[in-house]
Amino acid sequence: MNKEKISEKVNSMKEDIIELSKKFVSVNSVNPRTYGPGEKEVSEMLEKYLNTMKFDEIKIYKAPDDIVECGYRPNIVAKYSGTSAEKTVWFITHMDKVPAGDLSLWDTDPFVPTVKDGKIFGRGSEDNGSSLVATIMGLKALMELGVKPKNNIALALVSDEETGSKYGIQYLLEQGVFGDNDWFFVPDGGSETGDFIEIAEKSRLAFEVSVKGKQAHASMPNLAVNAHRHGMLFNSLIDTFLHENYSKEDILYMPPYSSFEPTIKTTNVENINTIPGTDSVKWDCRVLPDYDVNAIFSELEKLAEKYSAENNVKISLIPLGIKNSPKPTDSGHEMISYLKKAIKEMRNIEASTGGIGGGTCAAFLRSYDLPAVVWATMDEMAHQPNEYIKIEHLLADTAVYTKLMSEL
């Protein structure tokens, strides 16, 4: 199909694309492990929509999970058969969202979609609603144009991407849903110009620093061991140690260095006149593959043991996520050539490949030696207040996916 025909079709679907995006934002599907209701309601809405399309098969894979009331986390797989079907080409997006955070930082209700200044505002509008909608509508455009691709095209709308993917892409991998010959597009990251294709991700090191001292009245520090003070000092020691000892750079990745960020600070005491006896800080580190994150964690444990012995305090390091990055997808893989061609023809953009620090479903696929690439057009508003997606990006990506699917 030529550019004009695809563009005309996608533009005719503009209001439907905006409406599906708004519906996605309006459903609170915050991950249950960040105190949300989970994906059940949004999956039911999406399944109903997919049933209006010409799929050959729609199947729900329910990953058992007692944390949610229904007892499972839904994963939707919808297939559109190709003419010869040598392989299935997958487009994988996720249904869960992160919490809204501090509501005072939002200009609008995060779960009431707002269209303003050519943008759709709301939690999940970009991450991952923009690509979820664009891939669905790209395939819908293909169907309505009466085009049958050579290979099967399949959508996987998964759960749990925001907290480790155990009940999402990992569950589908364990169920043997994917074939060894399949290709995987994971539109969950990109750039505001649409010129970046991700083929590699950094390693992940997440941990908690737990400090136990002795609580006492703030006027009697002689009776206390201030866990908060030791927490600050030890976390500062960690910060210096990590940046000094793991400072390599690799221009394949964006940013080109390892990142080491303290994130969550847990409440210790509720009144100002009490010296805290406990303290907790969580870290999220994205590490270049040059380093073994298991070895880094071992070094941090040694630091904790040394500091504890020298300062009459008990510091423990609790692992929350330690995973060395899998081998990158080959930059010369044929699927990347198809994607670059579609971007060039529909957007007149020359795309390049590289790596990121963020984690996507692509890393889990690569760990199974399955080729996966990440591409989308977005302003990197994920996890921020006033998250949005530009409507022009939503339409442009839908057109690229329509072109790409028609060629595969």
- Which residues carry out catalysis? 96, 161
* Residue 56: closest CA among 122, 131, 120, 148: 148
For tokens 């050519």, name the residue: 118
Give the H or E element holding residue 41: helix 40-50
How many CA atoms lie less than 13 Å away from 230 in the CB half-sphere?
Answer: 29
Per the structure block, which two tokens stand in for 264?
Answer: 């969550």
Who contacts 109 (Cβ-Cβ below 8 Å, separation ≥6)?
122
Which is it for the CA torsion 254, 255, 256, 257, positive or negative? Answer: negative
Order of all β-strands in the sheet with 57-64: 57-64, 72-80, 152-158, 88-94, 183-185, 372-373
Separation of alpha carbons 293 and 14, rounded Å: 45
Separation of alpha carbons 152 and 386, rounded Å: 37
Helix, strand, coil proportions of the chain in percent (round to 5)?
35, 25, 40
Beta strands in 311-393 (DSSP E): 314-323, 352-356, 372-373, 388-390
